[in-house]
Amino acid sequence: MMVSALIERELSAETFPIRDGVFVAVVGPSGAGKDTVIGYARARFADETRLEFVRRVITRPSDAASEDHDTLADAAFVEAEADGAFAISWEAHGLRYGIPADVDWSVANGRVAVANVSRAIIPVLRERYANLAIVEITASPEVLAERLAMRGRESRGEVLARLARSANVTLSGPDVTSIDNSGAREAAGERFAEVLRKAMAFSDMPGLI
């Protein structure tokens, strides 16, 4: 892909990790409401040019019940991945996910990129971006179970297995902020908005993170 190749050439002179801007990695178990919190912030900062809410590429059709994303078939995704179309990619729950390569350009040029990612790729993100803010969206087990059941995508056994896997994964470090989204969307949304304000402040003064 020509765009990704151009980005790669422009960054070739850069020494990884990419710096100046901030990559905000939003993580958390299914049902925690990551897309809801991100959507709240997107509306809250609709006129903020320093923020980029990353549109993921997923091997799953887009529908009204899921996030707004770009869709590729498996074979097309693998080809795009080989062409360098993604800054980061991973597999989870039988699907492939990709973060477009142009996010590297955005961060290198001082912007704050916000993306919903897997906790499994946090070590890779920590190596790739000098300024990384990890936001873990959580909710109580009861709330998670209720939300997952309402989706109707999985059986009760699959829901319980997913919750068990989530309970076994923990994140720690000074770059991690945990936000409980068990209650009102506005409460979690405002906490997330504060994280983004701080990230924008840091991106205005490179080297502080």
Angle between helices 141-151 and 156-167 (to 10 degrees): 140
The mean per-residue pLDDT over the stretch 122-132 comes to 95
Degrees, nearest 5: CA angle 163-125-196 = 80
pLDDT of residue 67: 74
The reply to whether 186 falls in a domain is yes
The reply to whether 66 falls in a domain is no
Q: Range of 29's domain?
A: 17-54+107-201
How many domains is the chain partitioned into structurally? 1
Report if pTM > 0.85. Answer: no
CB 111 within 8 A of CB 51: yes
Alpha carbons 158 and 163: distance in angstroms, whole number: 9
pLDDT of residue 152: 58
Q: Which of 3-7, 165-169, 184-188 has the highest mean pLDDT?
A: 184-188
pLDDT in tens, 64-76: 666 789 999 999 9
What is the DSSP pairing of strand 86-92 with strand 95-100? antiparallel
Tell me the binding residues: 28-35
- Comparison of pLDDT for 156 and 116, the residue scoring more: 116
Tell me the binding residues for ATP: 28-35
For 48-77, give the DSSP string. -TTEEE---EESS---TTS---EE--HHHH
